[in-house]
């Protein structure tokens, strides 16, 4: 039999084993809460749970609690000063509109991860050496630089400012037209100086690998291959790097590789699946670049645009040695029904045993010659966004930087959270129960949801005023139509519909979704801002939101709606740490319980 006293002890041992962060204060609260529960509730848990409590079991435990009382669930998370990510100070009042404040908070998120800023913060120059991520490297005119990604030009400009006196040469692969665009937008500080030793190669028009990007990749491979053990190779990596470093393994042609990845993306494959496949078909991805640079010391500075910052997947991990399992690749392709249309060249490469590189370089299994450091991420952007939100009169709460899954489910999550936070009375337990069920589907940990609900509830009860709920990640859209749009715009529209269905008074919650790279799908908008009035606004202008969604035509719709005023168009931001989601919830007058 499970005793009330045993639960918190079991929970804490699992916390240590799996890396859950369960602060002592919370564990003791579990203890208190568990002791409040009746014997009948606890003894109905399966006997085997006396060993370890799994994540699933934890959510079941919490769900069971929601059936009893919402107040009890929330009381578990009451003293969370470490985790709440909110301070106690009341935010200042602000007269700006919700829409303007949402845009400002988004701008702060983008500003925090500007390429020059993140590089400056990560390289400490000390006379003839640099310290990166706690490691010291001696500079003796032995520095080489390569890079690929949407943010890499600005990263390279800053790196050259810091260590240019020791730089021998460099090659970077950056998006087509980026130099001219930066020039036009007055962002000269992100451009290389005129006599730079770094060669800039532009390519990958529309974020798709092309012959220009392939030439750049070859230039990068050549530079890396010429290095000796005396050399230090600085590798600058950011999102969009996969398309900018194409090196298909022969006989796969660039077009064939592009077809496979494009079909996968259109079928709704995640970036994890996409890059797992890309790695298997490329010479430079999956550790290939580090392999070619051996025996030089390789230091990679990485601006992450993948959930959880997995080194092997960001830009398909060119500096992270990863093994290719053909069965894994085939099962991904099968999942999206692409096995039958697979080119013979791809089958050929996947069927080859042994390593992808045949030059017999003497590398150990743990490549000590490589240091990979993540220097910017969605979490950093959310943290700074929270700071700006506070200045603008909101109480910030960060839900998670890992939101993923289909935009339909993600919009439901935000709709439920808005309903939860806007409730004038104790929110009905079904809302919490549905949130907890939905969380895992959209990449949000049960733990994060409970923490967030607790903070939202507390704020409401204590009259803290308006709230800014922040999250980040990269949901997916399964394309069914031929319209023009992007996942952020589609998410914003869907959340607008959810908010409309809540029947809240006017001036209710506002939702923003924006890609931090400033570009949402193949459109010039980064995303959009919506609220519960969206549907009426569209109807009064003769626009049909449902047919727009069926045709994935969110950009066309939002451009026509009220002259595009709901679109978020920051222009090229020069960075990329996935998307930022923001739910601004006005203060709710509550009915005292």
Ligand X SMILES: O=C(O)[C@H](O)CO
Ligand Y SMILES: Nc1ncnc2c1ncn2[C@@H]1O[C@H](COP(=O)(O)OP(=O)(O)OP(=O)(O)O)[C@@H](O)[C@H]1O
DSSP β-ladder status, 370-376 and 297-303:
parallel
Q: How far is the CB of 243 from ligand Y (least distance, A)?
A: 6
Give the residue with the Cβ less far from ligand X, 242 or 467: 242
Residue with nearest beta carbon to ligand X: 242
Whether 329 and 276 have beta carbons less than 8 Å apart is answered as: yes
- Are 586 and 98 contacting, i.e. CB atoms less than 8 angstroms apart? yes
Q: State yes or no: residue 301 binds ligand X (CB under 6 A).
A: no
The residue (of 232 and 249) whose beta carbon lies closer to ligand X is 249
479 is a contact residue toward ligand Y (CB under 6 A) = yes
Neighbours of 112 (CB within 10 A): 21
Work out how close the CB of 47 gets to ligand Y at its nearest, in angstroms, rounded to a whole number: 44
Q: Does 443 bind ligand Y (CB under 6 A)?
A: no
Map tokens 């799908």 to a residue: 521
CA distance 133 to 9: 36
Nearest to 581 by CA among 524, 510, 498, 484: 510
Q: Which of residues 255-274 bind ligand Y (CB under 6 A)?
A: 265
316 binding ligand X? (CB under 6 A)? yes
User: x/- contact string, 552-581, with ligand Y (CB under 6 A)?
Assistant: x-x---------------------x-----
Pair type for strands 143-148 and 232-238: parallel
Of the candidates 386, 363, 361, the one whose C-alpha atom is nearest the C-alpha of residue 91 is: 386
Q: Which stretch binds ligand Y (CB under 6 A): 73-81, 414-422, 447-455, 480-488?
A: 480-488
Q: Does 577 bind ligand X (CB under 6 A)?
A: no
Q: Does 207 sit near ligand Y (CB under 6 A)?
A: yes
Q: Does 520 bind ligand Y (CB under 6 A)?
A: yes
- CA nearest neighbour of 174 among 136, 139, 205: 205
- Binding residue (CB under 6 A) for ligand X from 157, 271, 290, 444: 271
270 in contact with ligand X (CB under 6 A) = no
Considering CB distances under 5 to 8 angstroms, the limit depending on partner class, which of ligand Y, ligand X, none binds residue 552?
ligand Y
Q: What is the DSSP string of 290-348?
A: HHHHTTSEEEEEEE--STT--TTTGGG-TTS-----HHHHHHHHHHTT-STT--HHHHH
Task: State yes or no: residue 388 binds ligand Y (CB under 6 A).
Answer: no
316 binds, among ligand X, ligand Y, none (CB under 5 to 8 A by kind): ligand X
What are the start-end ranges of the E strands in 64-127? Answer: 123-126
Binding residue for ligand X, selected from 53, 306, 307, 410, defined by CB under 6 A: 306
DSSP string, 363-388: --SS-TTEEEEEEE-HHHHHHHHHHH
Is the Cβ of residue 305 or residue 537 nearer to ligand X in the bound state?
305
Residues 238-267 that bind ligand X (CB under 6 A): 239-242
From ligand X, ligand Y, none, which one binds at residue 309 (CB under 5 to 8 Å depending on kind)?
none
First-last CA distance in the chain: 36
Q: Considering only residues 188 through 247, tell me which ones interact with ligand X, judged by CB under 6 A.
A: 239-242
Instruction: Answer yes or no: are the C-beta atoms of 467 and 456 closer than 8 Å.
Output: yes
Q: Does the protein bind ligand Y through residue 240 (CB under 6 A)?
A: yes
Among ligand Y, ligand X, none, what binds residue 217 when CB lies within 5 to 8 Å by partner kind? none
With CB under 5 to 8 Å by kind, the binding choice for 314 among ligand X, ligand Y, none is: ligand X
Check binding of 317 to ligand X (CB under 6 A). no
3-state secondary structure 226-281: CCCCCCEEEEEEECCHHHHCCCECCCCCHHHHHHHHHHHHHCCCCHHHHHHHHHHC
d(CA 208, CA 533): 37
275 binds ligand X (CB under 6 A): yes
Distance of CA 416 to the CA centre of its chain: 22
Give dist(CA 495, CA 112) in Å, integer.
26
Q: Which residue in 225, 272, 345, 476 binds ligand Y (CB under 6 A)?
A: 476
Contacts with ligand Y: how many residues (CB under 6 A)?
Answer: 24
Is the bond leading into 295 cis (omega within 30 degrees of zero)? yes
Judged by CB under 6 A, the residue of 286, 486, 518, 527 near ligand Y is 486
Judged by CB under 6 A, how many residues of this single chain contact ligand X?
Answer: 11
Among residues 239, 287, 376, 518, which is the contact residue for ligand Y, using CB under 6 A?
A: 239
For 387-407, the DSSP string reads: HHHHHTT-EEEEEEEEE-SBH
**CB closer to ligand Y, 301 vs 307:** 307
Enumerate binding residues for ligand X (CB under 6 A).
Answer: 239-242, 271, 275, 305-306, 314-316
Enumerate binding residues for ligand Y (CB under 6 A).
Answer: 207, 239-240, 243, 265, 305, 476-477, 479, 483-487, 490, 515, 517, 519-522, 552, 554, 576
């Amino acid at each position: 039999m499970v005793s009330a006293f045993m639960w918190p002890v079991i929970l804490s041992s699992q916390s240590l084993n799996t890396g859950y962060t369960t602060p002592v204060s919370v564990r003791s609260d579990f203890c208190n809460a568990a002791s409040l529960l009746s014997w009948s509730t606890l003894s109905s848990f399966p006997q085997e749970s006396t060993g370890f409590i799994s994540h699933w079991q934890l959510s079941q435990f919490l769900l069971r609690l929601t059936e009893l009382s919402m107040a009890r669930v929330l009381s578990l998370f009451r003293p969370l000063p470490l985790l709440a990510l909110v301070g106690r100070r009341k935010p200042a009042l602000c007269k700006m509109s919700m829409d303007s404040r949402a845009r400002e908070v988004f701008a702060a998120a983008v500003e925090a991860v500007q390429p020059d800023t993140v590089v400056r913060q990560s390289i400490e120059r000390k006379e003839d050496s640099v310290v990166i991520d706690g490691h010291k490297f001696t500079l003796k005119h032995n520095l080489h630089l390569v890079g690929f990604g949407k943010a890499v030009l600005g990263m390279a400009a800053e790196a050259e400012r810091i260590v240019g006196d020791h730089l021998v040469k460099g090659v970077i692969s950056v998006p087509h037209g980026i130099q001219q665009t930066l020039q036009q937008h007055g962002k000269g500080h992100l451009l290389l100086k005129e006599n730079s030793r770094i060669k800039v190669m532009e390519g990958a028009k529309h974020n798709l690998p092309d012959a220009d990007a392939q030439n750049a990749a070859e230039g990068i491979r050549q530079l890396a291959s010429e290095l000796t053990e005396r050399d230090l190779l600085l590798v600058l990596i950011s999102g969009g790097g996969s398309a900018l470093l194409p090196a298909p393994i022969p006989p796969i042609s660039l077009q064939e590789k592009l077809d496979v990845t494009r079909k996968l993306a259109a079928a709704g494959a995640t970036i994890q699946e996409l890059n797992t496949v890309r790695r298997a078909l490329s010479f430079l991805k999956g550790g290939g670049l580090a392999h070619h640079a051996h025996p030089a010391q390789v230091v990679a500075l990485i601006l992450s645009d993948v959930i959880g910052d997995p080194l092997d997947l960001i830009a398909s991990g060119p500096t992270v040695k990863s093994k290719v399992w053909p069965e894994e690749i085939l099962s991904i392709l099968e999942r999206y029904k692409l096995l039958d249309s697979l080119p013979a060249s791809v089958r050929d490469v996947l069927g080859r045993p042994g390593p992808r590189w045949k030059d017999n370089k003497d590398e150990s299994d743990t490549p000590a010659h490589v240091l990979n450091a993540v220097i910017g991420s969605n979490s950093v952007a959310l943290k700074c966004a929270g700071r700006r939100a506070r200045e603008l009169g909101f109480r910030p709460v960060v839900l998670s930087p890992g939101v993923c899954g289909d935009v339909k489910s993600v919009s439901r999550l935000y709709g439920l959270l808005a309903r939860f936070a806007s409730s004038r009375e104790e929110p009905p337990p079904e809302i919490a129960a549905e949130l907890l069920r939905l969380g895992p589907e959209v990449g949000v940990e049960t733990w994060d949801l409970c923490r967030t609900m607790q903070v939202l509830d507390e704020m409401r009860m204590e009259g803290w005023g308006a709230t800014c709920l922040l999250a980040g990640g990269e949901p997916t859209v399964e394309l069914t139509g031929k319209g023009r749009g992007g996942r952020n715009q589609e998410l914003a529209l869907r959340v607008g519909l959810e908010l409309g269905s809540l029947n809240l008074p006017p001036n209710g919650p506002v939702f923003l979704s924006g890609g931090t790279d400033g570009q949402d799908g193949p459109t010039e908008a980064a995303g959009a801002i919506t609220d519960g009035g969206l549907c009426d606004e569209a109807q009064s202008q003769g626009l049909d939101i449902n047919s727009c969604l069926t045709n994935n035509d969110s950009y066309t719709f939002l451009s026509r709606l009220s002259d595009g005023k709901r679109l978020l168009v920051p222009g090229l931001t020069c960075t990329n740490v996935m998307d930022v989601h923001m739910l601004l919830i006005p203060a709710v007058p509550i009915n005292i319980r």
